[in-house]
Structure 1
Amino acid sequence: MSLHRHPPLLLCLLSSAICTLTPVTADAASDKISSSKKKISQSADPARPTMLGASAPTDEHITVSGHTHNLGNGDTGRAFGGGLMTPTDAPKSVSAVTRDYIAKQNPALNPMQLIQLLPGANVSDTDPLGMTGGHISVRGLTESQMGFSLEGFPINDIGNFAVYPQEIVDSENLKTVRLAQGSADLDSPHIGASGGVVDMYMIDPKTKTGGHASLTYGSYNSTRGFARFDTGYIGNTNLRAYFSYSQSRQDHWRGPGWDGKRHAEMKVVNDWGHGNRISLAIVGNSQTNYSYPNVSMASWKKWGTGFTNPVGSSGLKAGDPPNTVYEKHYVPGDSNYYKLRPGPFNNIYASMPSTFRLTDRLTLTETPYFWYGYGNGGGAYSTNMSAISWGGQTLSGSINGQTAPGKVMLFNPSVTETYRPGSVTKLTLSTGINRLMIGYWFEYAKQRQSAPYSPVGNDGTPINIWGDTNRLILSNGDMYQYRNTLTQTQVHTPFIGDSLSLLNGKLTIDAGFRYAIVTRRGTNDLPDVSQKYISQTYRQSLPTAAIRYKINDHNQIFASVSTSFRTPQNYALYDAGTYTAGAGYSTKANPDQRPEVSISEEAGWRYQDDLISSSLTYFHYNFTNRLFQQTQVNENGQIWATNINAGGQHSDGFDAEIGTRPMHHIRPYLSVEYLHAITDSNLPASSGSVTDYMHTKGKHTPQSPSWQVGFGLQYDDGARFIGFDLKYVARQYATFMNDQHIPGYVRMNINMGYRLPKFGIFKSPTIQLNLQNLSDQHYLNWINSPQVNATTQKGIFGNTIAGTSPNYTIASPFAAIATISSDF
C-alpha cells in the first residue's frame, strides 16, 4: 500500500469540517454559538461506565464550557486531590491527573513524570526538565509493554514499542493523563500493550481570543519559553484553534553535554449540531540530546554520580570497574567522547479524532492519524578501513574516495525512519438500555533502520550528527552498515462490544471481543544473513468482560477480566551486528516467537461524594510467553544476543487511592500499591560453552517494587498556593535470580506560587517555584538491562554460570525551577 493514499483522507475530513462552517448574520451569531455550546454540553448519549471504547477524546464527553473557576492555565482549584484524582464509573482500575495538578508543576515535565504519584506508577527520570525521557513500570511491566496514546492515536515505536515521553506534548496543552493499570480499552490502537495503557488528551481551543505565555529558568542553566495563541471562534462560525511554540535548553548535571528542544503544536476544533465534532491536532518536535551514561553497580559504588575517572579508558587501574563516563575532551581512539553520543530526532504527529451523530441513536467515531519520525542514537567505533568484515568477506572502504591507513574513529549512529498512517473507526448504536459498538483499526507502517559509518573530525565531532552524508563505501560498492532493515507492519483489528444498563442504571454489564491480525514483512540487506526476507503473521483473540454495580449514590463495586497481547519486537526478526566466521552475527534472528499474552482480573470498590473520592482495587495478572533478550555463548566461546521466550509471570496485589476537594483550601491525596510479582519459569543461561537453567521459578520479577506510596498535599486560597509531593518506591530486583537490586528511595518535591492581580492584557500573572528532589537524594532509579544472574550461580544441572552485570540509570538531583506565566 502506498503511503500517499493516506493524506487525502485527512484532507477530506478537514474539508468536511470547513463545509460545515455555514456563515450566519451578525445579529444571529451570538445566539448560534450559545446554542451550539448548550447542545455540546448536553450530550444525548451521556457517558456510561464501560471498558468498550474510551480512547478517542470525544469518548470522554468533556463539555466545552461550564461553571467552573479558572485560576489561570486551566487550574480550577476544585479538583479532587489537587488534580490527582477524577471521579469515574469505569468497571476497572483507572487513575488520572488533570489541569489542577499539571498547572502547578515544572512546565517542562513530560507526561510520565506527571503521573508518578498515581497507584503503581514506578517512574524514573535522568534530568530536571525531563528532556532525556524516562521510564515507567506498572505492575512489573515496563513502558514497552504498555500502550501510550495521544488524542486517540498510538505513540509507541511500532518496532520495539519504546516510548520517548520528551517528544509527546507540552504540559501547558495537556488536559488529562489517564492511567489504566491493568488493561486497554477494546478500541485501543496498540499491538504492544500486554500491560496497561496511558491515554493523553490535549486541551481544547478557547472560545474567546487569548492565549498563555510562560518563561522558565532554573538549575543547570535550564531555560524554557512557551507561548500559545487561541483564535477564539473564527468569524461567525464554530471553528476555533490554537497554535503554540516552546523552546528549551539545559546543561547536563552529570558530566559534559546539553539538551535542546523546539516544539510546536496546534489544535483545530469545530462543533456543531447535537454532538457532532471534528478536531485536528498536530504536534511537531525537534530535539538534540547527549546521552547520560548508565552505570554498573560496581561503578556506582566506586564513583557514585561523580566524573572522577581518568580521561580515557586507558587511564583506569587494574581492578577498577568499567569506565562509564563520557569524556569532556576528545582523546584520539577513545569512543567515550560525549559529542560522539548525540541523539537528534525530528518527529511529527497528526490526528483527526471526529464524531458524527448520524441519528439520535447512531454515532460514528473516526480517528485517522499519521506519525513520522527520523533520527538516531549516536555511537562510534575505531575501524580499520583497509580490512572491514562484510559478512564472510574482508573488504576495504573509503569516504569520498579516500582511504585512511590503520584504524580511524568513525561515527556509527543507529538511524530510524518511520512512516505510520492508520485509522480507528467505530459505530455506536444506543437503544435504550443497550449500547452496541462495532469498529475496525487499520494501520500500515514502514520503518527503515540502518547504522551507517561516517567521518569524525580531528576534534572528535561527527561531521554530520544525522549520519546521512559522507558515508563509508566498501570496495564492492556497498554502504558499510551495522544493521540495514526495512520492516512493514500491517495491522487489522476488528472489534465488537455490547454494554447493557439495568436496574435504572445501577447495574452495567460489558462484553467485548477483538481479533488482532498483525503481519510483519521485513528485508535484511546485510550480507550472509540467515534470512534475507521475513514474513510473520500473528493472530490473537482478545475477549473482555466487566460488571459494575452502583450500591447507592456514593458506593459502587466492579469486576473485570481482560486479555491483552504484545507482538514480538521487530529486531527479533533480523541478524545484526558483527560477523564471525562459523558463528554468524552477534545478534541472531529468532522470528518464530509467539506474542506475549496477558490475562488481567480486577475487582474493586469506590466511594465518591462531593468531598471525598476513593477507590480500592485487587488485581491478579497472568503473563505468558514473556519475550526476553539474552546473551548466549556457543561451544567455541563465541558470543551473541538473541530473543527467547522466558515463560510466564503472575502478579497479585492491590491499588488504593483517596483524595478530597478543598477543605479550608487544603486538598490531600494518597495512593498505595502492594505488588507480588513472581516469575513462573526457570530461565536458560550460558557461561562459556556451558548452558543450563537457573532457579528463577518462584522468585520476584525484576523492576517490580513490592510497595509504592504516593502522597500529595496542596494548599490554594486563590492567590497563594503551595504543594508537597512524596513518592516512596521499595527496592527493585535487577536480576531474575534476585542476586542484585537497587535500594528503595523517597523523593520529595515542593511547588509554590503567587497569583498577582490582573493588569493590562495579563489576566492571571503567576510567579511559581518548583523544587525537585528536595533532599538531593542520590540514588539509582531504573534497571536498564535486567539479567538472569549478576553473580556466579549454580544451575539446575549443577553447572557453574558466571553472572552478567545489569546497568542502571541515576536519578536527577535537586533542582530549583522558577516560572512566570499568565493567560492573556
Structure 2
Amino acid sequence: MISVGLALPGPTLAQSTSHRRAAGQAAAVRAAATPAAVSTPSVPPTGAAVGSGRTVGTAASGTLMGMSILPDSGQTETVSVTGGMSGGNGVTNTTPGGGLMPVERAPRSQSGMTRDYIAKQAPTTSIDNLVASLPGVVSAKIDPLGMFPNDTMTMRGLTQSQIGFLFEGAPEADPLSYVTFSPTLVDNENIGSVTVSQGSPDLDGPLLNAVGGQISTFEINPSHRMGGYVDVMGGTHSGNKEFARFETGDIGNSGVRGFVSFSYTSANNWRGPGDQFRYHVDSKFVKEWGQGNSIRFILGFNRQSINAMLNPTLQQWRQMGDHYNLDATYTPGDVNYYKFSQVNSNVVNIVAPMQFTLTKELQLNLTPYYVHEYGPQVGGENIPVSGGYFGAATYGTPGSQYGALTQPYATNGYLTALLNDPWNQKNSGLNSTLRWTHGNNTLTFGWWYSYAAHTERYQYDLVNYAGNPVTGYGLNPVRLSNGQILSGDNLNFWQQVNALYVSDNIKLLHDKLQIGGGFKAAMMYRSGTNNLPGASPWKATGSYFEPLPQFYASYQIDRHDQVFINGTTAFRAPVSVEAYTPDYDPNSGQIAKAGSLKPEYSIGEEIGYRHTGFYNFSISLFNLNLTNHNISSSGYIPGSTSPVAEPINAGGETSRGVQAEFGLGYWHHFSPYLSGQYLHSTMDNNFDAGADILPTKGKISVGSPKFTGAIGLQYDNGTVFGNFNLRYVDSQYTTFMNDESIPSYTTSDLTLGYRFRSIGPARHPQIQLNLINIGDVHYLAAAGSTTGNAHTMVGMHGAVVAGSAPIYLTGAPFAAFVSMSSAF
C-alpha cells in the first residue's frame, strides 16, 4: 500500500483523470456510510420565475417517479411573505429560510436552495460550497474564491465520489472516479436552484455511484425579455471576476428564447506562490410549445488553470501552519517548485433535455448529453538516468533492452522532469423515460444508455537548470534509447452502461396517501489496458449486474403536514482505473496493484416528517448498511508531486442518525434558518493493512463528524440586504484506527448589500460585500488522505504495522470581495 503521509501539493491530487482524480485531494478514504435511493424530478420545476429556478410563492412542482410532489394542482402551497420582489439577479425573497428551505414534497430527506440565497453569496462560490449549510453536508472551503477543483465534500459521512451529481438531468461526475469538479460546471450567476437528497438517489436518474444520495442543479430559465446582466467583483488575494450575460428574449414567433454568458476569474493563491484563472461560457436555449412540450439546449465550456498548494501532515501543520508551502524559486532537483504543480481543467458540456406530451395520459422525457474533459495535469519528479523502470522492465541495467537515458541537465544521476499528463475523456449517453398516468395510477418505464472512453499516456518533459521546460510543455518528452516515450501509464479504458427501470405509483384517500415502488436493473461492462512492458495484468475487464429495488410512501396529513417512509438501494462500481490495471513509476516500478472488483451496495431506510407554511420544519431518521466499501486510497509517489491511487475494499459499514432543519418565511424582512445532524457511523470489519490485520471493527468511520450544524439569518427590505451563515463541524477521524483526527471548527460568512433604484437602462443595480471566514479561523478543513493507522502498532496477529501520517487540506482564511451588478 502506498504511503499517504507525504505532505506535497494538494490540488495535484485532485487530478482530472480517472486514476489521477481518484487520488483526489480529499483523498477518497473517508470510510463512512449513508442511505441511498428514491427519486425526484429529472426535469426542472415548472412555473418558475425567471432566474429563480423555483415557483414563486408555491411549492416546486414535478413528479417523483410518478408520485406527485404537490398535494394537488388545486392545492397551492402558500408561503407567508412580507412581499415579493423581482431583482435583476433573480432574488424574489419568497423562499423560507432565506432561500435555504423551499417547499419539498418528495418522500425522502431533501433540502434545497433558490436564487434568494445563491445570489447573496460571493459570485465565485461553487455548488459544493453553496450547499454547506444544509443538514448532513460538510463542504471544506480550502480556497476563498471556491475555484479549486477538489473532492472536498461529504454528506452523512460519505465522500463526494459516493454522491450522484446531476446538472439539468445529466450526470456530471467522472464516470470512472466519480469525482465532480463543480467549479467547472456553471457560473454562480446562472444557477437557478440546487436540490440535495442526503440519502436517496433518483431511481430514474442516470447515476452509478449515488450510494450516498444526490445533488441536482438547474440553470436559470432564459428571460422572455431581451436584456442582460453584468457582475464585476474584486477583493483580497487579487481576486477578481467579470461576468456578462446576454438574454435574447423571445425570438420572433419561434417560441425560442435563450442566453449566453461569459466570465473571467483570477486570483493569487492565498498561501504559497502561484495563481489561478478561469474562462467560462454558459448558454441555454429553450423551445416550448403546446401543453407540456419543451426542448432545452445547454452548452458550457470551461478552461481553468491552478497552481497547487502544499498540504501538511498534522505535525507539519502544528509546526508551520499556513507557511508550509511550495517553493517560490527553483534550485536544480527541487520537485517542490510551484510551477511544477498545475491543474488544468478543460470541459465541454452539452445537455439537451426534451419533454413531449404524446397524449393526455402519456409523457416522454429524453435527456441526451455529452461531456468532454481533458488536461493536461502537471507534476514534478526526479527520474533516474539508469536503473529505472519502464513498466515492469528496467532501463540502463545489464541485459536490459533499453539503455540509459541520454538527455542533458542530469544532477547526481537524476533528471528533473515535469510529469505531463494529457488525459482525454469523453462521456455520452441518453436517459429516456415514458410515463403513463391513468386515473390515480402512474406507471413509468425507462432506459439509460451511456458510453465513456478514457485515454491517457503521460510523459516526462525535461526541464533545464532554471526549472523551465527545455522546449515547452509536451513538445520534447524524455525518450528511451529505442525512441519510445518513457511513461508509467499507457491507458485505454472504456465502459458501457445499460440500465432499465420501472416504477408504479398509486394515490389513495383523496390523493393524501401515495404509495410507490420501483425496480432498476443496472448493467455495466468495463475494459481497460495498460500497454507498458510487463504490465500485469495488462488488460482487465469488469462486468456487473445489480438489481436495485425501491419503496416509498407518503401521507399528506393536511395542506401543511406530511410524513414519509422509504426503503432504497444503490450501488457504485469500483473506483478508478487502478481497480483493473496497475500503475508504474520510473523510480519504483509497480506502485499500485489492481484492487477488488466487487461493487459497493447500499440498503437504506428513512422515516420523516415535514411541516410547511410560515414556519417550515423537517426531521428524518436514517439507517444505512453498506457492503464492499470501495476506497481509493491516495498518496504521492515518493520523491515526486505526482499522485497515485490504490483501490481498497474496506468491507461493510453501518450509519445511523437524525437530521433536521427549520426556516421561517420573511417576517419584518428577516428570515432565519437552522439545520443540524447527529451521525453514528462505524466500520463493520477489521482492516487488512498488508503486514497484519488492524482491529477496526466498531471504530468510527473516517470523515464522519458526530455533530454538524448551521445557523443562517437573512435580512432584505428590498433596498438594504444582508446574509449571515455560521457552520459547526465536529472532529473527524482520519485513520481507520481512530488514532488521529481533525479538530472541530466553526466558521462564519457575512454578506452586506445595497440596491439602487433603476438608472436609465440599468435595472436594479446593486453593490454587495461578501466576507468569508469573518473570524479568520485557522483550521484544518478535511483529510487530504487517510490511512489505516497514524502511529506504529502491533496487529491482531502480532506483526508490526508501521504508521502512516495522513495529510490535510488547510481551510481558507478571511477574505473580502466587493461586487457590483446590474440587469439591463
Aligned counterpart, 2:769: 769
1:95 is the counterpart of 2:111? yes
1:561 is the counterpart of 2:567? yes
Q: 1:95 Cα shift?
A: 0.5
Q: 1:685 Cα shift?
A: 1.5
1:749-768 paired onto structure 2 within 5 Å:
749-768=749-768
Contact 1:397 1:472 in 2 (8 A): no
Aligned counterpart, 1:393: 394
Contact 1:52 1:187 in 2 (8 A): no
Aligned counterpart, 2:741: 741
Contact 1:518 1:538 in 2 (8 A): yes
Aligned counterpart, 1:364: 364
Contact 1:244 1:266 in 2 (8 A): yes
| Residue of 59, 64, 75 corresponding to 1:50 | 64
Contact 2:680 2:700 in 1 (8 A): yes
Q: Secondary structure at the match of 1:803?
A: coil
Aligned counterpart, 1:11: none
1:441 is the counterpart of 2:457? no
* CA–CA distance in structure 1, aligned partners of residues 768 and 689 of structure 2: 52
Q: 1:404 Cα shift?
A: 5.3
1:496 is the counterpart of 2:502? yes
Contact 1:651 1:677 in 2 (8 A): yes
Contact 1:387 1:394 in 2 (8 A): yes
Q: 1:385 Cα shift?
A: 3.6
More displaced 10-residue stretch of structure 1: 183-192 or 766-775: 183-192
Q: Secondary structure at the match of 1:298?
A: helix
1:662 is the counterpart of 2:666? yes
The one-letter code matched in structure 1 to 2:593 is K
Contact 1:670 1:711 in 2 (8 A): yes
The one-letter code matched in structure 1 to 2:489 is R
* CA–CA distance in structure 1, aligned partners of residues 138 and 66 of structure 2: 27
* CA–CA distance in structure 2, aligned partners of residues 411 and 602 of structure 1: 50
| Residue of 622, 643, 652 corresponding to 1:619 | 622
Q: Secondary structure at the match of 1:764?
A: strand
- 1:450-492 CA-to-partner distances (Å, cap 9, x unmatched) read 2211122442134588x53211221223211121211101000
More displaced 10-residue stretch of structure 1: 205-214 or 382-391: 382-391
Q: Secondary structure at the match of 2:161?
A: helix
Q: Secondary structure at the match of 2:327?
A: coil
1:67-466 paired onto structure 2 within 5 Å:
69-134=85-150, 135-307=152-324, 325-390=325-390, 391-395=392-396, 406-462=413-469
* CA distance 1:161–1:397, change in 2 (3 Å): farther
Aligned counterpart, 1:573: 580
* CA distance 1:473–1:787, change in 2 (3 Å): same
More displaced 10-residue stretch of structure 1: 767-776 or 375-384: 375-384
Q: 1:415 Cα shift?
A: 3.4
* CA–CA distance in structure 2, aligned partners of residues 297 and 403 of structure 1: 39
* CA–CA distance in structure 2, aligned partners of residues 428 and 469 of structure 1: 54
Contact 1:417 1:448 in 2 (8 A): yes
Contact 2:292 2:355 in 1 (8 A): yes
The one-letter code matched in structure 2 to 1:50 is L
* CA–CA distance in structure 2, aligned partners of residues 336 and 742 of structure 1: 25
More displaced 10-residue stretch of structure 1: 279-288 or 481-490: 481-490
Q: 1:272 Cα shift?
A: 0.4
The one-letter code matched in structure 2 to 1:93 is S
Q: Secondary structure at the match of 2:318?
A: helix
Q: 1:388 Cα shift?
A: 3.8
More displaced 10-residue stretch of structure 1: 121-130 or 261-270: 121-130
1:30-41 paired onto structure 2 within 5 Å:
none
Gaps of 5+ in 1: 1-32, 34-39, 56-61, 308-324, 633-639
* CA–CA distance in structure 2, aligned partners of residues 613 and 532 of structure 1: 57
* CA–CA distance in structure 1, aligned partners of residues 765 and 132 of structure 2: 28
| Residue of 585, 591, 598 corresponding to 1:586 | 591
Number of aligned residue pairs: 743
* CA–CA distance in structure 2, aligned partners of residues 167 and 288 of structure 1: 11
Contact 1:262 1:287 in 2 (8 A): yes
Q: Secondary structure at the match of 1:765?
A: strand
Q: 1:407 Cα shift?
A: 2.2
Aligned counterpart, 1:6: none
Contact 1:53 1:187 in 2 (8 A): no
- 1:219-259 CA-to-partner distances (Å, cap 9, x unmatched) read 00001000000000001221001000000000011110000
Q: Secondary structure at the match of 1:304?
A: helix
* CA–CA distance in structure 2, aligned partners of residues 200 and 130 of structure 1: 17
* CA distance 1:462–1:677, change in 2 (3 Å): farther
Q: 1:71 Cα shift?
A: 2.2
TM-score by length of 1: 0.87
TM-score by length of 2: 0.87
Give me the identity figure in percent. Answer: 36
More displaced 10-residue stretch of structure 1: 377-386 or 572-581: 572-581
Aligned counterpart, 2:40: none
Q: Secondary structure at the match of 2:165?
A: strand
* CA–CA distance in structure 2, aligned partners of residues 326 and 770 of structure 1: 29
Contact 2:608 2:618 in 1 (8 A): yes
- 1:114-140 CA-to-partner distances (Å, cap 9, x unmatched) read 010000111012111111134111111
Aligned counterpart, 2:524: 518
The one-letter code matched in structure 2 to 1:247 is Y
* CA–CA distance in structure 1, aligned partners of residues 634 and 240 of structure 2: 42
- 1:6-38 CA-to-partner distances (Å, cap 9, x unmatched) read xxxxxxxxxxxxxxxxxxxxxxxxxxx9xxxxx
Contact 1:49 1:91 in 2 (8 A): no
The one-letter code matched in structure 1 to 2:510 is N
Contact 1:588 1:641 in 2 (8 A): no
* CA–CA distance in structure 1, aligned partners of residues 424 and 377 of structure 2: 12
* CA distance 1:462–1:726, change in 2 (3 Å): farther
1:471 is the counterpart of 2:487? no
Q: 1:286 Cα shift?
A: 0.2
* CA–CA distance in structure 2, aligned partners of residues 219 and 106 of structure 1: 12
CA root-mean-square deviation: 2.5
Which structure has more relative contact order (CA 8 Å, sep 6+)? It is: 2
Q: 1:52 Cα shift?
A: 6.3
Aligned counterpart, 1:719: 719
Q: 1:434 Cα shift?
A: 0.6
Contact 1:157 1:163 in 2 (8 A): yes
Q: 1:68 Cα shift?
A: 5.5
Contact 2:66 2:442 in 1 (8 A): no
1:530 is the counterpart of 2:547? no
The one-letter code matched in structure 2 to 1:620 is N
Contact 2:65 2:204 in 1 (8 A): no
Q: 1:723 Cα shift?
A: 1.3
- 1:685-710 CA-to-partner distances (Å, cap 9, x unmatched) read 24xxxx21111111100100000111
Aligned counterpart, 1:8: none
* CA distance 1:100–1:695, change in 2 (3 Å): same
Q: Secondary structure at the match of 1:128?
A: coil
* CA distance 1:300–1:759, change in 2 (3 Å): same
Q: 1:631 Cα shift?
A: 9.1
* CA–CA distance in structure 1, aligned partners of residues 633 and 144 of structure 2: 33
Q: Secondary structure at the match of 1:116?
A: helix
1:628 is the counterpart of 2:631? yes
1:587-602 paired onto structure 2 within 5 Å:
587-590=592-595, 592-602=596-606
Aligned counterpart, 1:317: none
1:687-726 paired onto structure 2 within 5 Å:
691-726=691-726
The one-letter code matched in structure 1 to 2:105 is D
* CA distance 1:580–1:753, change in 2 (3 Å): closer
More displaced 10-residue stretch of structure 1: 381-390 or 747-756: 381-390
- 1:37-61 CA-to-partner distances (Å, cap 9, x unmatched) read xxx999xxx9466356999xxxxxx
* CA distance 1:299–1:52, change in 2 (3 Å): farther
* CA–CA distance in structure 1, aligned partners of residues 221 and 254 of structure 2: 16
* CA distance 1:276–1:296, change in 2 (3 Å): same
